[in-house]
Amino acid sequence: MHIIDHRQIIFAREFRGLSQTDLSNRIDGLSQSNLSKFEKGLSVLSEEVLNKIINELDFPVSFFQKKIYNPIENVHFRKRSGMPKKYELALTRELKLYGYIIDSLSESIEWPEFKLRGFDLEEYSISSVAKKIRSVFLLKDDEPVTNIYNLLERNGIIIIEHDASEKFDGVSFVSDKGYKLIILNKNFSNDRKRFTLSHELGHLLLHIIDNPILPLYREDKKESEANEFASSFLMPRDVIIDSLYNLTLRNLAELKRYWQTSMASILRRAKDLNCISPERYQYLNIELSRHGYKTQEPIEVTIDGPKLYKKAVQLFRESFNYDEKDFAADFSLPRDITEKFLFQKAKVSQQNKLRVIL
C-alpha cells in the first residue's frame, strides 16, 4: 500500500461524522488509543487495519495521499448556539472539501479575478469600508442591493449554496490556492441569504484578506464587526437614518419592501444608530414575535442566485461528457460525494483553460 497521510484519515472520519471511538468500534483489531496515536502521527497501523479503515470510510486510497488544508482559522461560522460538535466537525470538512474542489477545478478553469482588497480597521471605519465597496459595485447611495450574487461573483468571489441544517448560516474562507469562497445555507429565506452574504463579505474584507493577525481577534468581535458591515452595506446610514425614527410594524414592512432586508435587521439598524430607545426596541421585538414574524416575516424579498459554480459544472458536463465515475477518479473522491457536491473536471492543458462567462 502507498503511504497514507494520517491527516486525511482525520478528514475522512470527521466528514463521515464519526468520532475516534465510533470508527475504532467498527474495526476489528483497532483500539481508540491506537487510532488516536496514528492520527497524531505518533505511531503506525498495519496494512490490514488501514485497509479496513479505508473501506469503512468509503474513500478511494488515492484520497489519503492528498493534502487538504484550508486552515480552520480562515473559516467563520454564523451558527446558532447548541450546534453539536460532531456536526460542526463534519460540516467543516464539507466546507473544506469545496475549497479542494475549487482548487482542483482551477487546473482546468479560469475563475474570475478577485477585484477587491482587505481593509485595516485601524485605518478605516466599518461604515467607510461599506461605502467604498458600494462605490466599487457602482451602487447609488439610495439604491438597494438587489443582485448581490452577481456583484460578488463578478468580483471574484465563488458562492455555493449548501444543503445544511438551520444551525448553519454561512461561511467565508480562502482556499489553499487563494480563491475566495462564501458558502451559505440554501434553505434560508432570501432576506436572510442577503444579510449572510453581506456578513461573510465583511469577514473577507475585514478579517481574512491581507490580515495576518486574524487569530488574535476574539470571535464575538469579528461577528459584531461583520454584522455592522452588512448593515452599513445593505442600509447606508445617511440614507436610511431619517426613516428609522418613530418606527412601527407597518414602517418596518415598508422599509423591508424597499431595502429588501428583514424587518428584524432594520429594527436592529435603528437601535444601533440610536434612532429608537431600548424600550421601543424591546417592544417592537415582542411585537415581531407575537405576530409570528420571528419565524416567518411578511413580504417575500426577491434575490438573484449563484451562477458561477453551477455554470462550471454545466460547462464540464456538456463539453467533456464526464460521467460520475470519471469525476470520482479525477478528484479521488467516492461517488456519493461527487453526486452530492455536483462537480466535474475536464482534462485540458494549462494553456487552454475554459472561461466561465457570467
Tens of pLDDT, residues 206-226: 998 876 555 556 778 899 999
Q: Which of 266, 289, 304 is the last residue of a domain?
A: 304
pLDDT of 287 over the 90 cut:
yes
pLDDT of 348 over the 60 cut:
no
Q: Which domain holds residue 278?
A: 235-304
Q: Does 1 or 56 have the greater pLDDT score?
A: 56
- Does any domain span residue 245? yes
- Does any domain span residue 16? yes
DSSP summary character for residue 156? T
pLDDT of 347 over the 50 cut:
no
pTM of the prediction?
Answer: 0.90
Report the distance separating Cα 58 and Cα 339, nearest Å.
14
- Does any domain span residue 42? yes
- Does any domain span residue 139? no
Asked whether 238 and 141 are in contact (CB, 8 A), the reply is yes
Alpha-carbon distance values, 67 to 71, 94, 96, 188, 317 (Å): 12, 15, 11, 33, 26
Rounded mean pLDDT of 255-268?
A: 98
- Does any domain span residue 81? no
Q: Does 74 or 354 have the greater pLDDT score?
A: 354
The radius of gyration of the chain from alpha carbons, rounded to an integer in Å, stands at: 23
Rounded mean pLDDT of 42-64?
A: 95
Q: Which of 52, 67, 82 is the last residue of a domain?
A: 67
Give the CATH number for residue 23: 1.10.260.40
pLDDT of residue 133: 98
Q: Write the DSSP string, 268-315.
A: HHHHHTT-S-HHHHHHHHHHHHHTTTTTS-SSPPP-----HHHHHHHH
Q: Which of 32, 52, 67 is the last residue of a domain?
A: 67
| Residues sharing a CB contact under 8 Å with residue 302, sequence separation 6 or more, in sequence order | 146, 190, 260
- Does any domain span residue 1? yes
Q: What is the rounded (10 degree) CA torsion for 30, 36, 37, 40?
A: 140
- Does any domain span residue 53? yes
The distance of Cα 267 from the centroid of its chain, to the nearest Å, equals 26
Which pairs count as long-range contacts for 334-341, CB under 8 Å and 24+ apart, including other chains? 334/58, 334/59, 334/60, 336/58, 337/97, 341/97, 341/98, 341/101
- Does any domain span residue 338? no
Asked whether 89 and 162 are in contact (CB, 8 A), the reply is no
Q: Give the chain's domain count.
A: 2
